[in-house]
Amino acid sequence: MGYRTLLREHRSVLGIAFLAMFSSSLGQSYFIGLFQAPLSAHLGLSAGQFGTAYAVVTLIAGFCMLRFGPSIDWVNPRRFAIIVLSLLLTGIVLLTLSPWWWLGIVGLGIVRLCGQGMLTHLGNTLAAREFTTLRGRAIGLANLGIPLGEALLPPLVAAALVWTSWSIVWWSLSGILACLWLLLLMMAPWPKAPGSKPTPKTPQGPRPFHDPRFWRLLPLLMALPITMTGLFIYQTQLTASLDSTLTVYALALTGMGLAKLPGALLGGRWVDKLGPVALARVYLLPYVLAMVMAVTVGGHVSVWALMVGGGLAMGAQELIASGLMIKLWGTEHFGRVRSSLSAAMVFSTGIAPAVLGTAISAGVPFHSLLLAMLAFIVMGWLLAQGVLSEANHAPDVT
């Protein structure tokens, strides 16, 4: 069965998962970054204070993911979506209309939790749990919502800000997405809750943070988001180190967004044919080669290589990670396992900029940081090999 048949026969579930991923844009770093200056002015914070507040609420959102993310294993998905969307709207109200800075920061935290956190959790969980032999393709299609948002929203926001205020832009986008969600909530058939809420007398399911396999697999899955976050945040130092320019970097970001599309679509097909373990061993190779080029060659071509190689790997990362989680821990408690991975990602990408910033302030050349990133990727790959071999011999879970 190909993508066309999959879309024709399962368009409702895929539509819900895709819209959840696209709607998560409201809480993604790239989207909030478009409004950093007006948001800081509205809240009465300096750029540094806003960055600190952003890091704090992001870390808190990670802890909240650990607490509330597993509920998708027993809460009806339609009800889960209604709760998350209602909270997201509440967060937008607080962020855009609150007269008190601290309440605006609370709103920012809710937007981060429900946008990047819970909505991506909903989309990926539905796509992974509701499909069996076509799971890779389904996750790949659902994850197209994120690069579509990255491609469409920045130019739309830039154009809209010429004509109207930043808060009206927020509300306009929220209103459009709310209308689409109302149609799905009222008309689309939704999956049922997969299980019942655990009680003190029933098994609680896997506890990934208590499982050594999770910790040995985590560096491989975190290597890409951690290092790419560093390249995004410290783009000025990156381009200076590679003897390139910010203009080239900005153009290469477009290449990254386009590269995510074949990464997701081809990755989904290959995961279904070869399995997530086989792809997990090689999916970082384009990014590793780009990193090697950056530390040896430099120049404009290295900036393009990093962004395109990273985009290809990022397009395939989620479907590989979900496939590995299911191979190792099954689908019954997938929400619990995936929320643990999401929380770990949030923690690491929240801390990584601070670590890199400290190193840069201490005078460490960015070229040396690129070498450290490359070493981290290789170490993560080596550490995961035992777990990947175990997953390769695990029975397929439907």
**Model confidence over 69-84: pLDDT tens digits?**
888 888 899 999 999 9
Average of per-residue pLDDT across 293-298: 92
Number of domains comprising the chain: 2
Residues 220 and 165 in one domain: no
Residue 76 identity: N
Q: Give domain status of residue 383, yes or no.
A: yes
Nearest of 129, 97, 133, 119 to residue 31 by alpha carbon:
119
Q: How far apart are CA 365 and CA 272, in angstroms?
A: 42
Residues 172 and 43 in one domain: yes
Is the confidence at residue 22, as pLDDT, over 90? yes
Between 87 and 339, residue with greater pLDDT: 87
Confidence of residue 301 (pLDDT cuts 50, 70, 90): very high
Q: Which residues contact 181 (CB under 8 A, 6 or more apart)?
A: 19, 23, 81, 85
Residues 165 and 223 in one domain: no
Residue 104 structure tokens: 């605006």
Predicted local confidence at residue 69, as pLDDT: 86
Is the confidence at residue 29, as pLDDT, over 70? yes
Q: Give domain status of residue 176, yes or no.
A: yes
Q: How many CA atoms lie within 13 A of 202 on its CB side?
A: 6
Place of tokens 């709207």: 89
Q: Give domain status of residue 195, yes or no.
A: no
Q: Look at 103-107, 209-213, 252-256 and tell me which has the smallest mean pLDDT.
A: 252-256
% of the chain beyond a pLDDT of 90? 37
Is the confidence at residue 1, as pLDDT, over 60? no
Place of tokens 């550490």: 383
Residues 166 and 242 in one domain: no
Residue 293 CB neighbour total at 10 angstroms: 19
Nearest of 133, 114, 136, 129 to residue 315 by alpha carbon:
136
Q: Give domain status of residue 271, yes or no.
A: yes
Residues 163 and 239 in one domain: no
Q: How far apart are CA 180 and CA 174, in angstroms?
A: 10
Q: Residue 293 maps to which CATH number? A: 1.20.1250.20
Angle between helix 120-129 and 135-143 (nearest 10) = 160
Q: Which residues contact 25 (CB under 8 A, 6 or more apart)?
A: 31, 115, 146, 149, 150, 153
Predicted local confidence at residue 171, as pLDDT: 94
% of the chain beyond a pLDDT of 70? 95
Residues 320 and 390 in one domain: yes
Confidence of residue 247 (pLDDT cuts 50, 70, 90): confident
Residues 215 and 80 in one domain: no
Q: How far apart are CA 189 and CA 79, in angstroms?
A: 13
Q: Give domain status of residue 90, yes or no.
A: yes
Q: Which residues contact 270 (CB under 8 A, 6 or more apart)?
A: 136, 278, 279
Residues 154 and 221 in one domain: no
State which H helix or E strand residue 347 sits in: helix 334-361
Predicted local confidence at residue 306, as pLDDT: 94
Q: Which of 190, 219, 245 is the last residue of a domain?
A: 190
Residues 116 and 186 in one domain: yes
Q: Which of 190, 217, 243 is the last residue of a domain?
A: 190
Place of tokens 């650990």: 66
Confidence of residue 95 (pLDDT cuts 50, 70, 90): very high
Which DSSP symbol is given to 275?
-
Residues 268 and 125 in one domain: no
Q: Give domain status of residue 200, yes or no.
A: no
Segment 360-398, tens digit of pLDDT: 888 889 999 999 999 999 999 999 999 999 888 776 655
Domain of 186, in residue numbers: 1-190
Between 244 and 7, residue with greater pLDDT: 244
Q: How far apart are CA 237 and CA 364, in angstroms?
A: 11
Place of tokens 């988001």: 225
Is the confidence at residue 201, as pLDDT, over 70? no
Segment 331-348, tens digit of pLDDT: 777 888 888 888 887 777
Residues 252 and 327 in one domain: yes
Predicted local confidence at residue 202, as pLDDT: 61
Q: Give domain status of residue 119, yes or no.
A: yes
Confidence of residue 162 (pLDDT cuts 50, 70, 90): confident
Residues 171 and 259 in one domain: no
Q: Give domain status of residue 202, yes or no.
A: no
